[in-house]
Chains A and B, each alone.
Chain A
Amino acid sequence: MTNDTVTLDQLTGWLTRFRDLVTDQVSYLTELDSAIGDADHGSNMTRGMGAVIEKLQASPATAVDELFKGVGMTLVTSVGGASGPLYGTFFLRIGTEAGPVATLDAPGLAAALRAGLGGVVARGKAEAGDKTMFDVLAPALDAFDAALVVSSDISSAARAAHTAAQSGRDATEPLLARKGRASYLGERSIGHIDPGAASTALLFQALSEILDGE
């Protein structure tokens, strides 16, 4: 299945799919977080995305910016941990960048995601190799952009992003955490996948799957 644009429905579907994935993997995420954090990432993300989808079902968004701003706001108030402001800012910036439109074309989506990444960087001040969600977001978006150079098909770009996200996630395992609560563990943070990186990989898995019509 190829896509030159994504619709509001597809984007809502993406978020729903993301909710499903974090819910399915709640114990995996929590397990990762129990190794190097406070063991709440799974439940925080499940609760946050649960609240997001609940609200969307009650009052569906009518434009892309409205969709993502609503998501961001909800995550900020319902996640609790650091993922709240980080994912919250990510989606808020996506919404602001996308504007009041009903669909996004490939460059539009790429720009929106890039703005989201900018928000995460501004909020978390993370850099490559700090063992954070940045280590997944940044390579995934690079892969996304690179794929779009060859073809305007968003589906294949999302697949490329998903692959890069998985590699990025796995690559956090040997890193020494330099941000967030895991950084208090110092050397002991080595040898564990970062939970935020893992949930971010799920975000790209969700995008790829929804665009492939799965």
Chain B
Amino acid sequence: MIGIVVVSHSPKLARAAVELALEMVGVAGPAIAIAAGAGEGVTGTDAFKVAEAIAEVSSPEGVLVMMDLGSAVMSAEMALEFLEDPDIPVRLSSAPFVEGLMAAVVRAAGGATLAEVEREARGALGAKQSHLGDEDPAGLTVDTGPAAEHTIEVTLLNPDGLHARPVSMLITALSTLEATVTVANLRTGQAPVPANSPTALLTVGARKGDTISVAAAGRQAVEALEAVSDLVGKGFGELGTVPARAPEPSPAQPQARPASGALSSGPLSSGPLSSGPLGVSPGLAVGPIVRMPEPLDEPGPVAELPVSEREAAADRIVAASASVALTLREKAARVSGAARGILDATALMAEDPGLIDAAVSRVTGQGDVPERAVWAAVGEVAAVFTQQGGLLAARIPDLNDVRNRIVSELLGRPAPGLPDRSEPYVLVARDLAPADTALIDPAVCRAIVTVEGGPTSHTAILARALGLPAVVAVRDALDLPEGSVVIVDGTTGEIVVDPTDDQMVRAEEQIGRVATFDGTGQTRDGHRVQLLANVASPDSVAEAIEAKAEGVGLFRTEFCFLDHAEAPGLDEQVAAYRQVFAAFPGRKVTIRTLDAGADKPLAFVTAADEVNPALGIRGYRTAWRRPELLDTQLQAIATAAAAEDAVVGVMAPMIATVDEAVDFAARCAAHGLHNVGVMIETPAAAITAGPILERVDFASLGTNDLAQYTMAADRLMGELALLNDPWQPAVLRMIREACQAGLAAEKPVGVCGEAAADPMLAAILVGLGATSLSMSPRALGGVAELLGAVTVDQCRDAAVAAADAGSTGAARSAAAALLEPARA
């Protein structure tokens, strides 16, 4: 049983408190020693008396010291310096004196460990708080430091709230500042957690739109709050470029597609949503299967550590955590981009003081061996994450990864991780930890197949970043024999095991072929379709020119506005737009005015508290609130266009009514802009495309949003990926509606969404009547090649078949059947 020391200014107070506590347990209570008063009736405390009291009740299980206030705390701290037996674990409790003492005595009498007694004592205020209605449901409230001197409340703007990446940015930003910072989510009302613990911060569960209260104490408290406010205000750099859920994915980030073929789960049209293999990173690869090493097993129970060895054992945990973090940082230094950020975040988690303290106290308190202590400490956090579900639950692989690394380090085993191969292979794993995915060398690892994971998992994001084909949710992947050759199609999700020679030859042909674009988009029979590039900033112009794009079909202007607290000025915009216009003299550049809102919130135009931002103030609607922003932008576009030789068109995003189109055209005319168009992204605009096109010069279809609104399926929800598919016949009919209106009005209608980058779908779009296709530059080659291999009539026939099909699967099959012969 642990011993308890009671330190008080007043011997009377101490005796009364002890008496009260002992009433609860009678004679069976723990050994209690009082260190109160400074001798001869003097009120106060004496560090030596405290040290003596600790020695008096010391037991191998440890001693808990309860204190009242002021000098009692300092004397107790000082007493630790005077202890004779440094092996006895001693903890000073911040628990309330009377309540904490009572809780501690009761728990100690029950044989609880030092750590357990200490935790119980610290939570002892709960009953009173709950009774009086100021309850602090302090599941994870730990050492939140001194009383806060400064507090701010900020609202999260970035799409996923305080998830892993923002958490590590926050911790990194605060790490150099002398301040104790805590964070609480006002929505949940949960108690504040320390901002130096990634696991604790993740449990805050703060989502986009939540307001968090951030409190800071210490010399640089104000700087700390400024740093937090800055990061939050900039949406942790995730506004507009959402890595996990790219709003308008480039061909490297397609929406998840259902699988077909060897391992698919059944007919595409009727299968449950997202239940079968999902291609999450496009491309084709061939190689022998290599499985990830089996995961580490939970260390078995062994005898309790003798007290004399516990401190050294605890030190090993600290050392192992530091060593793992160092290794991860070294690895981070060797990579870049997303991989680096994830490795850095994992390193932070490996050193999480919350985790490490919990593991250490299991060793010092109850004599766990270090590897079991780490395992259990992580398990506790993982349980909380599981309970909270959602994004937090998605962090559990990261946690387990950290656990495995530290435990391996403790056991002296090589760190778990990727197989060390120099020959090409296809990696098969139950799930990939981010730290593993980050280290994949695309020169040898040719594709990734996992049992678990979804379209927004780390595996998917990193595979796309590496350009590696990846298929996730392949339930029986681990049954595939090691070494057997597979063809992995990350576009369709198809996996062919032990392919025939014929299949191999075709696959290798397809892999080896590099499609290029000669600069003139047309079908085999000479039907012209302009093939244009999507450009998101002046930086991406070079890539578009390199790919021989005929011009720019979508010049997004959000880059100009992101990371700004207020809209950029006229001159800044003119300079930026001119850079892009200058790169395409005599060519078409279609520039889109600011498209903010929904998944692209901008502090100065969008409200954070919209219940349903995808159906809220976004796109052109933001001009209702800030019309002057649109006028400034149109003026900038007019000025830039006048200074350069590009054939500039300007279009508005998210138009829903004819009136909006009229209004936009009038505003453009006021600035001297005459080639005016609108984006067709709503079903409303698609079915009124006729009257709209009477008022403007052209239209451009945004297929991602058009699919989202036609199917009433949030495009940010991975679970709805099957509905959010531009191959949905309903979406194809919407597109046809708009294209036919264009043909009737003899005005161009192009497509600038994701759909245009899928070669087969591009052919369908041409068949539906699209006059131009705009896409990420690297998709141009593939699209140009397929178009060049088919006739416009084939496209039209395929389009009719696809739009009339009963399902996405049938639409694809029909299109493939009608287009394929011409390619062969």
Which A residues are closer than 8 A to B by beta carbons? 38, 40, 44, 47, 73, 76-86, 88-89, 123-125, 127, 178, 180-181
Query: With the chains together, A50 CA to B78 CA distance in Å?
Result: 22
Does B593 sit at the interface, judged by CB under 8 A? no
Q: Across the interface, do A84 and B77 meet the contact criterion of CB distance under 8 Å?
A: no
Q: Across the interface, do B43 and A85 meet the contact criterion of CB distance under 8 Å?
A: no
23 A–B contact pairs at CB < 8 A? Answer: A47-B42, A76-B48, A76-B75, A76-B78, A77-B38, A77-B48, A80-B37, A80-B39, A80-B43, A80-B45, A81-B71, A82-B71, A84-B38, A84-B46, A85-B71, A85-B75, A85-B78, A86-B74, A123-B74, A125-B146, A127-B218, A127-B219, A180-B70
Determine which of B38, B49, B77 lies in contact with A79 in the assembled complex, contact meaning CB atoms within 8 Å: B38
**Per-position 1/0 for B16-52, Cβ under 8 A of A:** 0000000000000000000001110011111111000
Q: Across the interface, do B74 and A124 meet the contact criterion of CB distance under 8 Å?
A: yes
Which B residues are closer than 8 A to A by beta carbons? 9, 37-39, 42-49, 69-71, 74-75, 77-78, 146, 149, 218-219
Q: A96 CB to closest chain B CB, in angstroms? A: 11
Query: With the chains together, A79 CA to B49 CA distance in Å?
Result: 13
> Inside 8 A of A124's CB, which chain B residues have their CB?
74
Q: Across the interface, do A79 and B74 meet the contact criterion of CB distance under 8 Å?
A: no
> Inside 8 A of B43's CB, which chain A residues have their CB?
38, 40, 80-81
Task: Label chain B's interface by main secondary structure.
Answer: loop
Most buried by B among A47, A80, A89: A80
Once A40-B43, A44-B44 are accepted as A-B contacts, the answer to whether A80 and B71 lie under 8 Å apart by CB is yes
Q: A70 CB to closest chain B CB, in angstroms? A: 13
Q: Across the interface, do B46 and A77 meet the contact criterion of CB distance under 8 Å?
A: yes
Extra pairs beyond A123-B74, A127-B219 (5, CB < 8 Å)? A40-B43, A80-B71, A89-B78, A123-B78, A127-B218
> Inside 8 A of B69's CB, which chain A residues have their CB?
181
Nearest A residue (CB) for B178: A127
Q: B5 CB to closest chain A CB, in angstroms? A: 16
> Inside 8 A of A78's CB, which chain B residues have their CB?
38-39, 46
> Inside 8 A of A181's CB, which chain B residues have their CB?
69-70
Q: Across the interface, do A88 and B78 meet the contact criterion of CB distance under 8 Å?
A: yes
Once A88-B78, A123-B78 are accepted as A-B contacts, the answer to whether A82 and B70 lie under 8 Å apart by CB is yes
9 shortest A-B CB distances, which residue pairs? A80-B44, A80-B38, A82-B71, A85-B74, A80-B42, A85-B78, A76-B47, A77-B46, A81-B44
> Inside 8 A of B42's CB, which chain A residues have their CB?
44, 47, 80
> Inside 8 A of B38's CB, which chain A residues have their CB?
77-81, 84
Nearest B residue (CB) for A128: B219
Q: Across the interface, do B71 and A84 meet the contact criterion of CB distance under 8 Å?
A: yes
Q: B73 CB to closest chain A CB, in angstroms? A: 9
Determine which of A76, A83, A127 lies in contact with B46 in the assembled complex, contact meaning CB atoms within 8 Å: A76
Q: A52 CB to closest chain B CB, in angstroms? A: 14
Determine which of A77, A81, A125 lies in contact with B39 in the assembled complex, contact meaning CB atoms within 8 Å: A77
Once A76-B78, A79-B38, A180-B70 are accepted as A-B contacts, the answer to whether A84 and B45 lie under 8 Å apart by CB is yes
Query: With the chains together, A40 CA to B41 CA distance in Å?
Result: 13
> Inside 8 A of A47's CB, which chain B residues have their CB?
42
Q: Across the interface, do B77 and A123 meet the contact criterion of CB distance under 8 Å?
A: yes
Q: Across the interface, do B39 and A79 meet the contact criterion of CB distance under 8 Å?
A: no
Nearest B residue (CB) for A122: B77
Query: With the chains together, A85 CA to B146 CA distance in Å?
Result: 20
> Inside 8 A of A83's CB, which chain B residues have their CB?
71
Query: With the chains together, A80 CA to B50 CA distance in Å?
Result: 12
Query: With the chains together, A125 CA to B71 CA distance in Å?
Result: 13
Nearest A residue (CB) for B77: A123
Q: A104 CB to closest chain B CB, in angstroms? A: 24
> Inside 8 A of A82's CB, which chain B residues have their CB?
70-71, 74
Query: With the chains together, A127 CA to B146 CA distance in Å?
Result: 12
Query: With the chains together, A127 CA to B219 CA distance in Å?
Result: 8
Q: B341 CB to closest chain A CB, in angstroms? A: 34
Determine which of A40, A84, A125, A178 lies in contact with B75 in the assembled complex, contact meaning CB atoms within 8 Å: A84
Q: A93 CB to closest chain B CB, in angstroms? A: 11
